[in-house]
Structure 1
Amino acid sequence: MHPLRLRPPPASMDIQTQSSLLSAIVCLAIAISIQIRGRRSRLHLYFVLLNTVLAVWNLGFFLQQVSDPAMGFRIAMLAALAIPWCAMKFFATFLGTATKLTGVVTNTTAVVSLLLMPVIISPLFDNRWVNLLVLVYVFAVLYLCMFLIYKRLGATESRVESARLWYLVIGGLVAITFSLTDYLPKIDVFFPTVGTVFTVIFMFFLSQILVQYRLLDLTEFFGKIAVLGSLVSLLAAIYGLLIYFVGDQPGTLFFTSLVASFVVLILFEPLRIFVEAKIARYNLRERFDFGRQMAKLRREMANVLELGQMVTLIFGRFENMRRITHAALYLLEGDAQNYKCIGHVGPQPKSMLDAVSSRDFVDRLRDGETLVREAIEDDIHELRELGSSQENENAAEGLGQLAKLEGLMDLLDEIKAGVVFPILSDRRLIGFLTLWDARVREAYLQDELNAVQQVANQIAIVVENSKLVEKLQERDRLAALGEMAAGLAHEIRNPLGAIKGAAQLLQMDDAADNESAEFLQVIIEEVNRLNNVVSQFLDYARSERTSSENLDINPCIERTVQLVRNKAEEGMVEVKTRFATHLPQVRGDTERLTQVFLNLALNAIDAMAHSENKVLTLSSALGRRKEPGLGGTLVRDVVEIRFEDTGRGMTVEELRNIFIPFYTTKQTGTGLGLPICQRLVRSFGGALSVTSQPGVGTVFTVQLPIVGEEAITGSTLKRERRSDSKTSEANLAIARNTDSEGPGRETEET
């Protein structure tokens, strides 16, 4: 008989032989399932390699019992020598602990395996001591892999991840230990052959971790086992019934297998969906735990003021929830164009979402709509069915809707979302929260969606509160810095006075030559300039306690025009004024407001130094200002004073920093003029804003509240406009530049 030719199998195989064949088939199936998923990473490659080697190892033991014992044993031992290297490479990559030590151990296993392979091929393969050496070597390395996972536990901060790593360690130790006990019958010690069963279960557990991109919870894993077991039982019953009714005679066996295979392929997918849905539906404990965790999360977030603490709290809870496989939180960045992922559970979603390119997605969320993957899929299916039966115009419209919905589905895939909850603040979309249970379809009931939306609403409150806290902390920091710097400024002014006085005395001395007199003049001028800087800084640092009175704003603007006339003439600047008549009075201080207006006008003149067309326009009008309040957005009637120039304009960076103390674009500026102006305007309850376009010009707008005007909410404003729109429009027309003589008066000064 040819040595490689298999002998007919015995009439019956023992349990160890059958389990070896089963383990070989299942390990090979796991390797193929991972390979055909399209994974190309090193982790998946090492896992496929490890399962293939285990399959060959078990197949060798099977061949040893049913065929050529020597050849089967050689195959098993050669595969066993490859197991240590494959296991070390896989677990080191899996844990992300590819250190110098693991590299040395992996290289050592490769060298030892290569040195032992000639021994296995030689006649010494059947030596008891050689077999014992290989056995100790293989299982020692496998236990070392479990020790690497145990070491990873110490570096894991997440309690949930730590618990799941413990499951992995215990499962691996059980599988390795019981695989070792399978060799006890060889030394005449009876023990049940269960090692191959535990090995298969452990490898299936690892395969699901790779598929899900995360560590599995035990309940989730046993749920998958239950689904798989139910499917196996149902499909085996189908095959058994066909065999029973058709028969298993040699002539009909092929036909029976063919029919059974068709039935299995047709029923497999709907049966899988049906069984998974039933198991998820009857698992009431998970649903109860989901609602309880969400309620607890809302209570805990009520006392949170920092974003980092909120993110840790949210995703710590989500990791504990068995019904969340993917979750992510996106918040709006400062430029109001991008939404950034600041935390997630499961695979890494898209890190940044552009609001412009995802306009349909953002608009739906801004309208308060909760996006559900299954609902969008149903809409897509319905549009595809209706597309062929519609007329041309309706078909074109349907295709447009279909394209939008398909774009939404692609975006949901990118952000790994099954449900998207909007996070709104004052009708602004400041972020969104995503959840997904990828195991089942329609995983969440309506009351559960409502519970998550309440969490999203609480997130909006925390985000807004965190911004207020940051502002308060920044204000306190600046106040402390201002007090310290103010004291320092006072100390600087004292020696400045002495220096200036000494220089003036020396300057009065007739004996001083011309060169000395010139140097003394420089000293006096620089002392005056430094004293001016210190004075401006003290004006900015001291708390404002301005007196205020009812006043008309137009005379203040006219006085400003008179004060800047000489400098405007020197710079060849044309000054125009447009005053609205019948303006209501504002609350303020004439001297302080004149100081603000003068500073803004002089800055505008300086900005037009190199412009060809030099025009400064000062205007006043009635306007409205929106501001946040407890009852929503508040709207106030204000008087607006605008300073518009045709200078060089400002860049985005300059606009961002223009009101920061000591920031200046002038060579001789102090950077305190605009911050002082802003503080003075705010002291009267007003606001100072700026808009600019490079190469066109800049507009500074001062808004001052009207005397006796109460703020109203945006909803109240809308009701007033609906109830008496004609009267309101007439009154506004009169207040805005309209009187009996014309729309207003315009004067020009050159």
Structure 2
Amino acid sequence: MSSPALMPSPAPRRATTATRHELFFLNYFRLAQAVVYVALAFAPVDMRWIRLTHPDLAQSVVIAYLLAAVAILLLTRRLAVIAPVTVSLTLVVDIGVAVMAVIAMHDARIGIAMMLAVNLSAGALVLPLRLSLFFASLATLGMLGHTTLETSPNTPIDSHELLEAALFGLAYFATTTLCHVLGRQLRATEALAEQRSIDLANLAQVNELIIRRMKTGVLLVDDANHIHQMNESGWMLLGSPPADQRDLGKLAPELSRRLYHWMTSGKLDETATQLADGTPEVVPRFTRLAPNDDSHVLIFLDDTSLVSRRAEELTLSSLGRLSASIAHEIRNPLAAIRYSAQLLAESRNMPPTDQRMVEIINNHCVRLNEIIENILQLSRRERSRPETLDLGNWANAFVEEYRQGNDLGEDSLRVINSSAPVAAVADPQQLQQVVWNLVQNALRYGRLPGEPARVMVVTRPGEHGVPILEVIDRGPGIAPKVAAQIFEPFYTTHEYGTGLGLYLARQMTEANQASLEYVRVAGGGSCFRITLTPAHARQTGDPAIADESVR
């Protein structure tokens, strides 16, 4: 499964959910406000609650205001993307209509001024503080200006109405400031909640990915023995059942029996068991989803093969360190023995029997030195230093160097390259050690009785252009039972072998993001195939090719 794409952090948006809600509230209120104005302006004479000082002006203004309120409400969703501009323009209309309504319906001035306070407060939820205070000032000047202009030159200003207008202006400033602060806190809370929801979604995706990629199988089972969820490892350990099969009793009767035994007795059976054919043995563990919840149980399936491999790795690591210290101590006396044997071999008066004994000493010193080198390689585990190689040129140079350093006699070692260049990424020194080991084994064991060894080093492009290097011999081949174990450490069928050569070869190929496998050759013979990383995959980072190269 591919890694989940984490949700991005919220980018600044021109209209949040809270802003849209505030716009809808303001526009619905404006429509109700317009309906109230219409009811006041068009009420029958016998039901009229107020006296219209300018009937024609009142009716014209309220009709226009009603139509504008309906149009603005219908366009709320589209206008939400430019909320500050929309609110600013509509507040100008609200203030202008309110001032004209007060002029035309003087008796309703208190109610109109109070409704205008709602418009200003709702607008302050969206607008910046300075702009909100500007509209509050505009509404205050409108109310004070109406009181001043309505008074004739010969009539003194009504101090009562002037005080009302001033108090309404003070209320406009107070409610506008308060609503702006509340709106800012509301938007901050909304942004925080949105960020928290994104963080929780990301965390849920990460948790799901971790659970699905766990090597331990995880199953969620209810009290009806039905599997609600399982991760990839659990699905594989159950034998890769179809998606519609979720009955634990049918999929894994032994696991269902152990679950029932644990739920009834509280005792856990920790013996390993195999849940399906072809799957590794597991040790099941159970735990309730919640302390007081008996309806759901989590089942953990521990793969015993993983534990065994981990124990093997720890054993090899400890053994490598111990063997390396011993090998260092052996090297010095071994060098002295070999040097002494070489000096004895140079003696001219040595009998043939003594010469044979010296030859035996030299041969065993060489063999013991090879064992020490293998053990030291097991403990070193040097990191690879990959380079881009022309595999054909590299194979030609390797074979030529091998011929110069080793007497092949009647044996043959040749290179077969593809017509097109094959570029690969690998550490040249480690690749040299791997191929040298494979060629040495092929020359030693890959021969028919009484015949010379015929070994080929082949370079060619594989599927998707993956570079392949093969060491092929025409010997008797390797029996299938033996071939299944040849890469295990310390496994050997030879009397004088250490069982570390092929194990180290595979370790070094894997350190180079490559793979080493044995392929039986039709008609007799053996093929050890190294699948390397292509050079263009390293440059482009193509995951499909990179995955193919390490299979």
TM-score interval, smaller chain: 0.3 to 0.5
Q: Choose 1 or 2 for highest CA Rg.
A: 2
User: TM-score normalised to the size of structure 2?
Assistant: 0.43
User: TM-score normalised to the size of structure 1?
Assistant: 0.33
